[in-house]
Amino acid sequence: MVEMRKSFWQRHRWLMGTLGVVLTVLVAVTVTLAVLARKAEPYLRARIVQALQDRFHSRVELDSFHVSLGNGLHGRWGVWAEGRGLRIWPPERLGTATLLEDMGTGNPLIQLDSFHFHVPFRYEKGKPVRISVVQLMGLNVDLPPRKHDPQADSASAGKPAPSHAGAKNHAANVMNGTNDAPQGTAPPKGPQAKLNQSVSSGMLTSFVIERIECDHAQLVLETDKPEKLPLGFDIVHLRLTQVTADGPMGFDAQLTNPRPAGLIRSQGSFGPWQADDPGESSISGDYRFEHADLGVFKGIAGILSSTGHYEGTLRNILVDGEADVPDFQLKHFGTPVQLHTKFHAKVDGTDGDTWLDPVDATLGSSHFTTSGRVVRFKDPAADADGPQPTTRAGKVSPFEGGHDIVLTVNVDRGHIDDFLRLAGHSSTPLLTGTVTTKASMDIPPGPKPVYERIKLGGAFMLSQAQFTSDKIQSRIQELSMRGQGRPKEAKSPDADKVQSHMEGNFQMAGGVIDLSRLEYSVPGALIQLRGTYGVDHGALNFEGSARMDATVSQMVGGWKGFLLKPADRLFKKDGVGAMIPIHVHGTRDAPEFGVDWGRLKSSSPETPGQKPQQEPQ
């Protein structure tokens, strides 16, 4: 019979034995390392707590910290570490020997739901271990308002300054293995004691973090002003690079702006972190804010986009930027006009108050500048409807509230048609011409539409004005010709050559414009009015006088004018050919013009040689 050939493993039984031994050793080493890693967790947790306490000069708590060996999700061998429930308190909460045991009632400076990172099995003597990325989830940073220096306060009160000894001693006990053991338990022995001794002799070296990635974070800057709200930023994603303990870090962030809703993308530099007062940590960068719907604000609408640069500290930031709203409009009228602005602003990070100086703006083709402040307050509407929205910590939400806008406005190169188009239902304005205005503006917070809340006061001048309606412009032509005593030219086809001039003083409150002085003039005529105009329904209520260069008889001309010569004496006064008391009532769409015969009868005609008297205003 033919002898059957033995298999490879039958011919090399010694190899199977060797592999078995190797596998057994590998399993034993892996199990041993896993056990050592598990035994090392309390020490490593204490080391992390101690390092953070030394860095932030504050109380630190870490609920759990676990390490494991393996190749992880991405096939990379090394040590995988995960921590949960990290809390870091503001520095001023230090100072007692039982600091770590005392939970306190204040809010932590930093809260972190979880973090994890990977340490590769690579080590070069004399070089730090490099961690490629640290992943953070659920980060909340709550910066308290600026406090007095505890050292100075203690010195002034004759008391010793707070000490960090309690915290350091407690952390040292943890590292020595005595913190978590019941009272009377001996320090750890065996592998744990050897591990502690190796670590203390320098076995573990320093780490370098190349990148930190964080999803779903919040930054809140608290205020100590009771009438103000804290300022909050909802961070969708944050990436930190060039991470160092005492230097600036690069960042790339995506933030959600609550009002108007939109996504802000920003890149820049942050730090170094000021442990004693985190609000003084430096920050600078560039931002892009796109697709922000202004419709969330009462009375206005449009899609905003803005870009710019900022620098300063978390509490005081200087911003230079540009903003565009191609379809800016007032909701009540709904006619869009392009708005472009360039601005320089200072932002108070403690409450979100903003000082604008200046804002260089263009509405349509009109140029104007503004300066002033935008002050953030609790929303009166929320107070009226119920309690203010709150965060999970039970505090008033930093993403709610109203604004009090106080500005000075200087329109130096304006066109009245741009403003009339914005405040009208038609894209064709009633009037064209150049306008200059100096005014103060205050828009307090509240539930009413903007045009009902806004308060205005100032003066304006409109020149080279012409009406777009041929019918109205022909009436202006007729008024001018008759006022000059040229009635035969009143129906001239050259009506568009007549330009009007208007100026006045105004106040606006509660949706009503009060014009204490309004003068409208064309060659040969001056109309002086005072009264009110309702913005919402366009209600007109004006009284005044029409002052004509020509007499009544000259205005009419022909045989009718000859018959009216006796009436010249009745209308002639104040040094003009005719002064006729008039009124303008009705609405913007249906104005009613008339002569106040009652006021005419109560006035005295001017006699030859009589000194003109000014009509009371």
DSSP for 297-328 reads STTEE-EEEEEEEEEEESSEEEEEEEEEEEEE
As a whole number, mean pLDDT of residues 198-205 equals 39
d(CA 488, CA 559): 13
d(CA 246, CA 268): 17
As a whole number, mean pLDDT of residues 119-147 equals 79
As a whole number, mean pLDDT of residues 180-188 equals 41
Residue 392's pLDDT is: 41
Count the Cβ atoms, other than its own, within 10 Å of residue 124.
9
> Mean of the per-residue pLDDT values for the chain?
75
- What is the per-residue DSSP string for 409-440? EEEEEEEHHHHHHHTSSSSS-SEEEEEEEEEE
Percent of the chain with pLDDT over 90: 22
Q: Name the residue ranges covered by the structural domains of the chain.
A: 28-209
Contact 440, 416 (CB under 8 A): no
111 forms bridges with which residues in the sheet?
87, 140
Tell whether the model's pLDDT for residue 552 goes beyond 80.
yes
Which of these, 530, 536, 511, 526, lies nearest to 587 by C-alpha position?
Answer: 536
- Runs of H (alpha helix) within 57-179: 150-157, 165-175
Residue 412's pLDDT is: 93
Per-residue b/e over 269-298, b at no fewer than 16 CB within 10 Å?
bbbebeeebbbebebebebebeebebeebb
As a whole number, mean pLDDT of residues 306-313 equals 94
| pLDDT band for position 258 (cuts 50, 70, 90) | confident
Residue 19's pLDDT is: 61
What's the pLDDT tens digit per position in 450-492?
777 888 899 999 998 888 877 778 888 888 888 999 888 877 7
Residue 332's pLDDT is: 76
Tell whether the model's pLDDT for residue 577 goes beyond 70.
yes
Specify the amino acid at residue 372.
G
End-to-end CA distance of the chain: 138
* 414-449-349-52 Cα dihedral, nearest 10 degrees: -140
Length of the chain: 617
Worst-scoring range by mean pLDDT, 235-239, 245-249, 250-254, 414-418? 245-249
Which of these, 314, 388, 321, lies nearest to 351 by C-alpha position?
Answer: 314
d(CA 406, CA 355): 10
Residue 346's pLDDT is: 92
| Dihedral (CA of 105, 108, 114, 120) sign | negative
d(CA 81, CA 114): 11
Residue 305's pLDDT is: 93
Tell whether the model's pLDDT for residue 92 goes beyond 70.
no
As a whole number, mean pLDDT of residues 396-406 equals 65
Contact 582, 544 (CB under 8 A): yes
Tell whether the model's pLDDT for residue 518 goes beyond 60.
yes
Worst-scoring range by mean pLDDT, 54-58, 335-339, 507-511? 54-58
Tell whether the model's pLDDT for residue 195 goes beyond 50.
no
d(CA 596, CA 531): 15
Residue 26's pLDDT is: 55
Overall pTM surpassing 0.85 (yes/no): no
d(CA 166, CA 386): 45
d(CA 465, CA 417): 10
Q: Which residue has the higher pLDDT, 39 or 168?
A: 39
Residue 324's pLDDT is: 95
Which of these, 80, 96, 87, 103, lies nearest to 52 by C-alpha position?
Answer: 87
Residue 169's pLDDT is: 45
Percent of the chain with pLDDT over 70: 70
Q: What are phi and psi of 230, to 5 degrees?
A: -65, 160
Residue 390's pLDDT is: 43
Residue 391's pLDDT is: 45
As a whole number, mean pLDDT of residues 281-285 equals 92
Q: Tokens 């006729």 correspond to what residue?
A: 580
d(CA 70, CA 78): 6
Residue 147's pLDDT is: 59
| pLDDT band for position 388 (cuts 50, 70, 90) | very low
367 forms bridges with which residues in the sheet?
362, 413
Residue 265's pLDDT is: 94
Worst-scoring range by mean pLDDT, 164-178, 372-386, 516-530? 164-178
As a whole number, mean pLDDT of residues 233-255 equals 87
d(CA 108, CA 266): 26
As a whole number, mean pLDDT of residues 396-425 equals 79
Q: Which residue has the higher pLDDT, 39 or 434?
A: 434
